[in-house]
C-alpha cells in the first residue's frame, strides 16, 4: 500500500519516445502517448507534440510539468516575436528560445525537447535540446527513455532525401519498436508532418501497429491468449 | 522568549516564499520525542467524465488525519465559477486554499471582461500556481465545466502538469475508479448512465481503499445549468443505532434565569432636519 502511495505522489513524468526527422521538403515529428506516475499510467493517450506557432511544433519528454510550462512560455515569447517581426518566426528562433529557457534553468528543469518545423528561409529543420540546454541542429533527432533502443535502428535505416511517406513510415516503425521494448513508452503513435503546404496530424492506434518478436496479438479478453496462435515474425 | 518567537513568526522572509526559520526547532523537538502534528489529508477518490450534454464530477466525503477519520462528510467538490467545479484530493488545506484563490481570481476576471469564465482560464491559473510551488502544494485536482467552447475536463497534478481527457480519476482510489471507468465508459452517455457510472467508480474506491469512505457527492454541469447532488448516495449508513435512543439520567440543571434588556444609547428624533455641512 505504501509503495503504491509513494508512486502516485511521484512527479508526473513522461518516460517517452520522441522522434524528429527531416525529409525532402519538411519534417515529420513522432511520439508515443504514455504519461506515467511511478508505475501507474496516468494518461494513456497524451499528446506530446505541442504547437508553438503555425509552422513550429515541439516534442516533449521528461517531467510533464516542466515541459508543459517551458512550451507555454516559448509559445508566449514566439507570439510576441511574430507580432514584432511582422512575419512567421523561423524554426531556429523557436529552438533558441527553448534553449535559452532550458539552459538558464538547467538546475531546476528536467525535460528534453525536440523542436521541428518549416520556414521559408531554411526549409524543414530539426533541433534537439536535451537535458542541460545544449542546442544541436540535426537531420534527425531522437529523445526520451525509449530512444536508447533506436540508436542502432536509425544508424541503419536513416537515409538522406526521403519522401514524405517514407519518412512518416520510418517514424511510426521506430516509435512502435521503442514501445515494444521500453516499459515507459506505450499507447498510440502520433505524428505531425510540417511542410510548405501546412501541418498534418496523424494517429496510429496501438492495436494497428506492427507486432515485433514474440509480441502477442491484441486481445479482447485475457482468456483468449490461451487459445491464440503464435504470430509469424515480421520480415524487414 | 515569547516576544522573540512572535517577532520571528511575523517577519516576512526577505526573498518571499517559504520561511524555513523553524526547521531547526522542529528537528530539535522530534529528536526529543515530540511527534509532529499530522495534517488533514483526504485519502480520496475524485472522478470526472464527459457525457453527451456536459460534465459529471464525483467525489467521496471522507477526510483523514493519519489513521483517524476527522470528517465523515466533508465537501470535496469545490465551487470555482457558476459553470465550473473542481474536485480536490491531497492535503485538504491546500486544495481548499488553491480552489478558493482561483475562484476569486475568476470572479474578478468576470467583472473585468463581462463574460462567463472559461475552463482553460481556471486551468492555467491553477497550473501556474502549483508549478511555482514545485509540488509542495499537495493538491491533485479534477477540474470540469461547460463554457462557450463546450464541455471540458482536466486533471491537474501537484507538480503543475495537466491532462485533458474524457475521463479522469485522482486520489488514492484513482486506480480502482479508473478500472471501473475503463470497462464501462463509452462516448455519448446519457445523464442517468453517467451519474450511475460515476457512483460506481466512487463506490469501488470506497469499498476497496481504506482512505476513502462515507458518501458519494455528484455534480452535473451542463450548458447553462448545474446540479450539485450532495450526498447522492449513502452506501455507509450507521447500522447499529440503539432503537431506544439515548437517555441522559441527569439533565443540565437551570440554576438561574436573568434577562437584561439592552439600554438605548441613541435617541431617534422623528421628523428631524437632514444633516447639513
Are B55 and B49 a contacting pair, CB within 8 Å? yes
pTM over 0.90: no
Query: What grid cell was written down for B33?
Result: 520525542
Chain B residues in contact with A37 (beta carbon < 8 A): 157
The contacts of residue B222 (CB under 8 Å, 6+ apart) are B53, B54, B55, B146, B191
Q: What is the pLDDT of residues A105-161, one digit of tens each?
A: 999 999 999 999 999 999 999 999 999 999 999 999 999 999 999 999 999 999 999
> Active-site residue A16, yes or no?
yes
The helix/strand/coil state of A94 is: helix
CB contact under 8 A, A64 and B165: no
Chain B residues in contact with A11 (beta carbon < 8 A): 135, 157-159, 161
Does residue A215 carry a pLDDT above 90?
Answer: no
B29: enclosing H helix or E strand: helix B23-31
Q: How far apart are CA A189 and CA A207, in angstroms?
A: 10
Q: How far apart are CA A57 and CA B261, in angstroms?
A: 76
Query: How much of chain A exceeds pLDDT 90, in percent?
Result: 77
> Does B163 lie at the interface with A, CB-CB under 8 angstroms?
yes
Q: Which of A14-28, A88-102, A145-159, B228-242 has the weakest average pLDDT?
A: B228-242
pLDDT tens-digit profile, chain B (277 residues): 444 444 444 555 555 666 777 888 888 888 888 877 766 555 688 999 999 989 999 999 888 877 888 888 889 999 999 999 999 998 989 999 999 999 999 999 999 999 999 999 999 999 999 999 999 999 999 999 999 999 999 999 999 999 999 999 999 889 999 999 999 999 999 999 999 999 999 999 888 877 666 789 999 999 988 999 988 888 887 777 777 777 777 778 888 999 998 887 877 777 767 777 6
B40: enclosing H helix or E strand: none
Substitution target from A5, A9, A37, A72 for chain B, most B beta carbons within 10 A: A9
CB contact under 8 A, B131 and A69: yes
Q: What is the pLDDT of residues A150-204, one digit of tens each?
A: 999 999 999 999 999 999 999 999 999 999 999 999 999 999 999 999 999 999 9
Residue from A75, A35, A82 nearest A52 by CA: A75
Substitution target from B123, B159, B173, B205 for chain A, most A beta carbons within 10 A: B159
Supply the ipTM of this predicted assembly: 0.81
Nearest CA in chain A to B128: A69
Q: Please tell me the predicted confidence (pLDDT) of residue B179.
A: 93
Q: Chain A: which residues have CB within 8 Å of chain B? A: 1, 4-5, 8-9, 11-12, 35, 37, 40, 42-43, 45-46, 63-65, 68-69
**To the nearest whole angstrom, how far is the Cα of B171 from the nearest Cα of chain A?**
8
- CB atoms under 10 Å from CB of A149, counted, come to 18
Residue spans of beta strands (DSSP E) within A3-160: 13-14, 18-23, 26-31, 35-37, 40-43, 49-51, 56-63, 111-119, 123-129, 136-138, 140-143
Q: How far apart are CA B155 and CA B163, in angstroms?
A: 5
> Does B103 lie at the interface with A, CB-CB under 8 angstroms?
no
Amino acid at each position: 500500500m505504501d509503495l503504491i502511495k509513494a508512486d502516485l505522489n511521484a512527479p508526473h513524468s513522461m518516460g517517452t519516445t520522441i522522434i524528429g526527422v527531416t525529409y525532402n521538403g519538411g519534417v515529420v515529428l513522432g511520439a508515443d502517448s504514455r504519461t506515467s506516475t511511478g508505475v501507474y499510467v496516468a494518461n494513456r493517450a497524451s499528446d506530446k507534440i505541442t504547437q508553438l506557432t503555425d509552422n513550429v511544433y515541439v516534442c516533449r519528454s521528461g517531467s510533464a510539468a516542466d515541459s508543459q510550462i517551458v512550451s507555454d512560455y516559448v509559445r508566449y515569447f514566439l507570439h510576441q516575436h511574430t507580432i514584432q517581426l511582422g512575419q512567421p518566426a523561423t524554426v531556429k528562433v523557436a529552438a533558441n528560445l527553448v534553449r535559452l529557457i532550458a539552459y538558464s534553468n538547467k538546475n531546476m528543469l528536467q525535460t528534453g525537447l525536440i523542436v521541428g518545423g518549416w520556414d521559408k528561409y531554411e526549409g524543414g529543420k530539426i533541433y534537439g535540446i536535451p537535458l542541460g540546454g545544449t542546442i544541436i541542429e540535426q537531420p534527425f533527432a531522437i529523445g526520451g527513455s525509449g530512444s536508447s533502443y533506436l540508436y542502432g535502428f536509425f544508424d541503419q535505416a536513416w537515409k538522406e532525401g526521403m519522401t514524405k511517406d517514407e519518412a512518416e513510415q520510418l517514424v511510426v516503425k521506430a516509435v512502435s519498436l521503442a514501445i515494444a521494448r521500453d516499459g515507459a513508452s506505450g499507447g498510440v503513435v502520433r505524428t505531425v508532418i510540417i511542410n510548405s503546404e501546412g501541418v498534418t496530424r496523424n494517429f496510429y492506434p496501438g492495436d494497428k501497429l506492427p507486432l515485433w518478436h514474440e509480441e502477442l496479438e491484441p486481445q479482447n479478453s485475457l482468456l483468449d491468449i490461451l487459445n491464440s496462435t503464435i504470430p509469424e515474425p515480421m520480415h524487414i | 522568549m515569547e516576544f522573540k518567537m512572535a517577532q520571528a513568526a511575523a517577519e516576512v522572509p526577505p526573498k518571499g516564499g517559504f520561511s524555513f526559520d523553524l526547521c531547526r526547532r522542529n528537528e530539535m523537538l522530534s529528536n526529543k520525542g515530540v511527534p509532529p502534528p499530522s495534517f488533514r489529508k483526504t485519502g480520496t477518490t475524485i472522478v470526472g467524465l464527459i457525457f453527451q450534454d456536459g460534465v459529471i464530477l464525483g467525489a467521496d466525503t471522507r477526510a483523514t488525519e493519519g489513521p483517524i477519520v476527522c470528517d465523515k462528510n466533508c465537501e470535496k467538490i469545490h465551487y470555482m465559477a457558476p459553470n465550473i467545479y473542481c474536485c480536490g484530493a491531497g492535503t485538504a488545506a491546500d486544495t481548499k486554499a488553491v480552489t478558493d484563490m482561483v475562484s476569486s481570481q475568476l470572479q474578478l476576471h468576470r467583472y473585468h471582461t463581462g463574460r462567463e469564465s472559461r475552463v482553460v482560464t481556471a486551468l492555467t491559473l491553477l497550473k501556474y500556481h502549483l508549478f511555482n510551488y514545485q509540488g509542495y502544494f499537495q493538491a491533485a485536482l479534477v477540474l470540469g465545466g461547460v463554457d462557450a467552447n463546450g464541455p471540458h475536463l482536466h486533471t491537474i497534478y501537484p507538480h503543475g502538469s495537466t491532462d485533458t481527457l474524457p475521463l479522469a480519476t485522482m486520489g488514492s482510489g484513482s486506480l480502482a475508479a479508473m478500472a471501473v471507468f475503463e470497462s464501462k465508459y463509452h462516448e455519448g452517455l446519457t445523464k442517468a448512465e453517467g451519474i450511475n457510472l460515476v457512483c460506481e467508480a466512487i463506490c469501488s474506491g470506497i469499498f476497496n481503499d481504506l482512505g476513502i469512505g462515507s458518501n458519494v457527492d455528484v455534480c452535473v454541469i451542463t450548458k447553462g445549468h448545474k446540479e450539485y447532488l450532495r450526498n447522492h448516495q449513502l452506501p455507509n449508513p450507521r447500522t447499529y443505532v440503539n432503537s431506544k435512543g439515548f437517555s441522559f439520567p441527569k439533565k443540565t440543571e437551570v440554576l438561574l434565569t436573568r434577562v437584561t434588556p439592552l439600554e438605548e444609547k441613541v435617541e431617534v428624533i422623528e421628523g428631524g432636519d437632514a444633516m447639513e455641512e
